C-alpha cells in the first residue's frame, strides 16, 4: 500500500462504473454522437482498428516490445465491448490483454521514451480494468494491479509512487501521472484507494496552485512545441476529473488555447520559440498546424468555437491513427505526443455546449510571467512577436529575454539554430543561446568560457557569448510550500515597464537589467509596431545599455533566412513574398556585419557550432550584428524596420 504525504483528495470517484474518460450515464450521449458529422472519420477509424487482429503484431507482442497500435487496439476493443455490452468480446479482450501484459518487458523497451511507452501500456490496461470491470474476476483485478505497479516502478521517470522531478517543469508535466497514473488510480479506486490518494494528492497539492499561476498569462512557459504537448497533458487530467465527477481539478486558465492562434503564422506553421520539435515530428507532417491536438482538447472541455474551428480544419487521419506503423514519430515517440485516438475523439468531442466567443483581436498582450505581445493580421499575412520575458521558465525555454520575430508572407526575422538533440554541443553553445536570437549581447572580452560541459560522453567548453544570465534554481522544487514563489525567487529576468495594444499599434517596454546583471548596470528595450506607417507597418526597436565597463562588447543581433544586403546603415532582408528594410538610426557610425552561409550561420563569437541535423528546420542563413564603434559604458540602439511586399 502507498502511504501518501498529502491530504486526502477532495475529489473522489463516484461508485458507478465506468469512470475513466466517461461514466455509465454518458452512454447515450456517446452513442448518439457516433453519427455526428464531426465524428464520422473518428468513428470509421475506430471501426477499422476494432477489426484488426493482435496476431498482426505477434513479433512485438511475443518479444515484449511496446507497439502503439497494439495499445490502440486494446483501447478500441475495450470501448467496443463496453458500447455493445458484449460479454463475449469483453472476455476475449481481457484474455488477450493478459497475454500482452504478461509478455510486456521493461528490459525490452529501455530508451528515452520508456516512461511514455510504459505509461501508455498502463493507461490502456486501466481502460480495460474500468470499462470491463464487471467481467473481471477478483484474481484478474489483482493481476492487473500488480503488473501495472511493477511497470510503473520500473519505467516511470517521476517514480512510483510519483515523488521525483521538479514541479515547475520537466517530464512530470507530461502524461506520466497527469494521464496514465491518474487513469490507473481512478480505475483501481475500489480496490486500492491509496494509489488515488497519492497520485491525486500530488496533483492537488503541487500542480493545482502552480498551474493557476503559470497558466494565468495565457502563454505556456514551455514554448509552442513542448508547451502545447504539456498543456494537452494538463487537459487530459482536467477532462479525466471532469468526466469522472463533474468537477474541474485545475483553474479554467488551463483550458485557454488562445495563444496557439497567435503563435500560428499565415503559412500554418508556428513561430519558433524555445526548443521546437515540430519541424520533423512524424516525418515533418506536423510542421503545418501543429496545435491541432491542444485545440481539440481545449474545445472538448470548453466548447469554444475558435478552438473547434482550428482542429476541424486541420486534423487528419495521421493524428488519430498511425497509418504507417513503426516509422517516424510512432517508432520513437508515443501516444499523446503528436496524436490522440479515435476513441478519445468519440468520447471527448461535444461534451461541452458550443459557444462562439468574440473574434480574436489583432494584438494580444500576454501578461506576467510572459510579458509578451503578439500582433497578428490575417488579412495581410503579418505576425509581429515581441517578448520581454519576465520570468525564465527553465526546461525548454531559451535565453532569449527581449527577443522579437517578424513574419510577412514568409519569416523575415526569426530564431536560429536546430533543435534535434537535448544536450548536444550545438544545443548548449548555439541553439539555446542569446546570440542565436534577436537579442542583445554584452560580453566581457576577458571571459572566454563559462564552464566545462560533459554530455553523452563528450566534453566541451560552454562558450561565453555575452548573453543573459543563466538562472540556477536553488532547490529541486519538490514539495515546496509555494512553487510559484520559489520559481520567481530564482528565475526573474525582466520587468515590463509599459505596454499598449490596439488593432493597429502594439508597444512594449521592459527593464532587462536583471537578465544582464552580470555585465550591465542598466538594460532597457522598447519594441513598437505601427500598422499604419508604411506599406505593411513599421517595427522599431530601441535599446539603452549601460555596461559595467566601457570595454565590454555590445551587440544587437538580427537573424534571417536568406543573405541580406547591407548598404551603409540600411539592411535589406528578403524571403519569399516578404521584405524588411532595416535602418540603423543608433548608434551612429555603427559597425554592421553579416555572418552566415554554411556552418557560419551557426556562429557564436566567431566560432562556428555546426548542427548535425538541419533538414525540415527553419535554421536560416545567418545573422547581422550591429555594434558601436566607439568605447563608452552607455550606448543606445535604434533600428527601424519597414515591412514590405517582395516582388518575386
Q: How far apart are CA 504 and CA 532, in angstroms?
A: 6
pLDDT higher than threshold 90 for residue 109: no
Residue 386 vs residue 419, higher pLDDT:
386
Nine cell digits for residue 40: 464520422
Question: Are 232 and 297 within 8 A, CB to CB?
Answer: yes
Ranges 167-176, 232-241, 320-329, 582-591: which has the least confidence: 320-329
Q: How far apart are CA 193 and CA 33, in angstroms?
A: 33
DSSP 358: P
Question: CA-CA distances (angstroms) from residue 238 to 172, 185, 242, 249, 352?
Answer: 16, 15, 6, 6, 13
- CA dihedral sign of residues 177, 181, 187, 188: negative
Residue 235 vs residue 173, higher pLDDT:
235
pLDDT confidence tier of residue 613, bands split at 50, 70 and 90:
confident
Residue range 580-591, pLDDT digits in tens: 999 999 999 999
- Number of neighbouring beta carbons within 10 Å of residue 624: 23
- Structural domains in the chain, CATH included, are 24-348 (1.50.10.100), 363-645 (2.70.98.70)
Q: What pLDDT is stored for residue 283 in this prediction?
A: 55
DSSP 599: G
Which candidate, 540, 546, 556, places its Cα nearest to that of 591?
Answer: 556
Q: How far apart are CA 580 and CA 566, in angstroms?
A: 12
Nine cell digits for residue 595: 555572418
Nine cell digits for residue 639: 533600428
pLDDT confidence tier of residue 475, bands split at 50, 70 and 90:
low
Residue range 259-305, pLDDT digits in tens: 999 999 999 999 999 988 777 665 566 778 889 999 999 999 999 99
Tell me, rounded to whole angstroms, the distance of Cα 227 from its chain centroid. Answer: 2
372: helix, strand or coil = strand
Place of cell 491509496: 194
pLDDT higher than threshold 60 for residue 466: yes
Characterise 562 by phi-psi region: left (phi > 0), alpha (psi -120 to 50), beta (else): beta
Q: How far apart are CA 392 and CA 591, in angstroms?
A: 31
Q: What pLDDT is stored for residue 336 in this prediction?
A: 65
pLDDT higher than threshold 80 for residue 325: no
The mean pLDDT of 612-639, rounded to a whole number, is 92
Which span out of 154-163, 473-482, 554-563, 606-615 was modeled with the highest average pLDDT? 554-563
Q: How far apart are CA 497 and CA 391, in angstroms?
A: 14
Question: Are 497 and 490 within 8 A, CB to CB?
Answer: no
Which candidate, 369, 368, 453, 439, places its Cα nearest to that of 398?
Answer: 439
516: helix, strand or coil = helix
- Percentage of the chain surpassing pLDDT 90? 77
207: helix, strand or coil = helix
Q: How far apart are CA 424 and CA 447, in angstroms?
A: 22
pLDDT higher than threshold 50 for residue 330: no
Q: How far apart are CA 379 and CA 23, in angstroms?
A: 45
- CA dihedral sign of residues 469, 470, 475, 481: positive
pLDDT confidence tier of residue 323, bands split at 50, 70 and 90:
low
Nine cell digits for residue 280: 520533423
Residue 373's contacts (CB-CB under 8 Å, 6 or more residues apart) are 363, 364, 365, 366, 385, 386, 499, 501, 506, 507, 508, 527
Q: What pLDDT is stored for residue 129 in this prediction?
A: 98
pLDDT higher than threshold 80 for residue 474: no
Q: What pLDDT is stored for residue 479 in this prediction?
A: 55
Nine cell digits for residue 217: 498569462
Residue range 446-460, pLDDT digits in tens: 999 999 988 888 899
Enter the pTM of the model: 0.95
Q: How far apart are CA 281 and CA 205, in angstroms?
A: 34
630 by Cβ neighbours in 10 Å (0-12 / 13-18 / 19+) ranks as exposed
Amino acid at each position: 500500500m502507498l502511504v501518501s504525504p498529502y491530504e486526502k483528495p477532495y475529489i473522489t470517484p463516484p461508485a458507478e462504473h465506468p469512470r475513466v474518460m466517461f461514466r455509465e450515464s454518458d452512454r447515450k450521449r456517446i452513442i448518439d454522437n457516433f453519427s455526428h458529422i464531426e465524428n464520422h472519420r473518428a468513428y470509421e477509424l475506430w471501426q477499422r482498428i476494432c477489426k484488426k487482429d493482435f496476431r498482426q503484431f505477434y513479433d512485438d507482442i511475443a518479444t515484449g516490445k511496446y507497439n502503439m497500435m497494439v495499445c490502440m487496439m486494446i483501447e478500441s476493443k475495450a470501448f467496443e465491448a463496453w458500447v455493445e455490452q458484449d460479454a463475449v468480446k469483453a472476455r476475449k479482450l481481457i484474455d488477450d490483454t493478459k497475454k500482452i501484459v504478461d509478455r510486456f518487458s521493461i528490459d525490452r523497451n529501455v530508451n528515452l521514451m520508456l516512461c511514455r511507452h510504459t505509461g501508455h501500456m498502463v493507461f490502456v490496461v486501466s481502460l480495460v480494468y474500468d470499462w470491463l470491470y464487471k467481467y473481471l474476476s477478483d484474481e484478474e483485478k489483482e493481476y492487473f494491479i500488480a503488473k501495472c505497479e511493477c511497470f510503473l516502478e520500473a519505467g516511470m521517470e517521476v517514480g512510483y509512487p510519483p515523488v521525483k522531478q521538479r514541479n515547475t517543469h520537466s517530464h512530470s508535466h507530461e502524461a506520466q501521472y497527469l494521464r496514465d497514473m491518474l487513469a490507473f488510480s481512478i480505475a483501481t479506486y475500489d480496490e486500492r484507494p491509496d494509489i488515488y490518494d497519492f497520485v491525486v494528492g500530488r496533483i492537488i497539492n503541487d500542480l493545482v496552485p502552480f498551474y493557476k499561476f503559470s497558466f494565468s498569462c495565457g502563454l505556456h512557459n514551455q514554448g509552442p512545441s513542448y508547451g502545447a504537448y504539456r498543456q494537452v497533458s494538463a487537459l487530459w487530467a482536467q477532462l479525466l476529473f471532469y468526466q469522472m465527477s463533474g468537477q474541474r481539478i485545475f483553474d479554467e486558465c488551463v483550458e485557454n488555447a488562445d495563444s496557439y492562434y497567435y503563435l500560428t503564422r499565415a503559412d500554418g506553421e508556428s513561430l519558433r520559440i524555445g526548443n521546437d520539435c515540430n519541424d520533423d515530428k512524424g516525418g515533418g507532417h506536423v510542421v503545418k498546424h501543429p496545435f491541432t491536438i491542444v485545440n481539440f482538447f481545449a474545445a472538448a472541455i470548453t466548447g469554444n468555437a475558435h478552438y473547434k474551428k482550428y482542429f476541424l480544419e486541420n486534423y487528419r487521419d495521421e493524428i488519430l491513427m498511425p497509418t504507417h506503423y513503426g516509422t517516424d514519430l510512432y517508432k520513437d515517440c508515443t501516444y499523446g505526443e503528436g496524436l490522440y485516438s479515435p476513441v478519445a475523439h468519440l468520447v471527448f468531442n461535444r461534451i461541452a455546449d458550443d459557444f462562439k466567443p468574440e473574434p480574436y483581436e489583432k494584438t494580444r498582450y500576454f501578461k506576467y510571467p510572459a510579458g509578451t505581445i503578439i500582433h497578428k493580421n490575417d488579412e495581410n499575412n503579418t505576425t509581429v512577436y515581441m517578448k520581454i520575458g519576465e520570468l525564465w521558465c527553465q526546461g525548454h525555454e531559451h535565453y532569449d529575454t527581449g527577443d522579437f520575430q517578424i513574419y510577412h508572407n514568409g519569416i523575415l526575422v526569426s530564431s536560429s539554430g536546430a533543435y534535434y538533440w537535448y544536450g548536444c554541443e550545438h544545443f548548449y553553445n548555439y541553439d539555446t543561446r542569446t546570440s542565436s536570437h534577436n537579442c542583445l549581447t554584452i560580453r566581457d572580452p576577458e571571459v572566454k568560457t563559462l564552464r566545462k560541459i560533459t554530455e553523452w560522453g563528450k566534453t566541451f567548453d560552454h562558450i561565453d557569448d555575452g548573453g543573459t544570465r543563466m538562472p540556477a534554481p536553488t532547490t529541486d522544487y519538490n514539495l515546496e510550500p509555494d512553487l510559484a514563489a520559489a520559481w520567481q525567487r530564482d528565475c526573474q529576468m525582466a520587468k515590463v515597464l509599459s505596454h499598449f495594444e490596439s488593432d493597429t499599434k502594439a508597444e512594449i517596454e521592459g527593464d532587462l537589467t536583471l537578465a544582464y546583471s552580470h555585465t550591465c548596470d542598466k538594460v532597457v528595450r522598447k519594441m513598437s509596431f505601427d500598422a499604419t506607417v508604411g506599406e505593411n507597418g513599421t517595427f522599431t526597436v530601441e535599446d539603452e545599455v549601460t555596461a559595467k565597463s566601457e570595454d565590454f562588447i555590445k551587440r544587437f543581433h538580427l537573424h534571417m533566412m536568406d543573405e541580406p544586403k547591407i548598404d551603409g546603415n540600411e539592411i535589406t532582408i528578403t524571403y519569399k513574398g516578404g521584405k524588411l528594410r532595416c535602418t540603423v538610426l543608433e548608434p551612429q557610425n555603427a559597425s554592421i556585419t553579416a555572418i552566415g552561409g554554411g556552418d557560419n550561420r551557426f556562429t557564436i563569437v566567431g566560432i562556428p557550432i555546426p548542427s548535425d541535423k538541419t533538414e525540415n528546420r527553419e535554421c536560416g542563413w545567418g545573422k547581422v550584428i550591429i555594434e558601436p564603434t566607439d568605447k563608452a559604458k552607455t550606448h543606445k540602439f535604434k533600428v527601424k524596420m519597414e515591412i514590405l511586399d517582395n516582388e518575386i
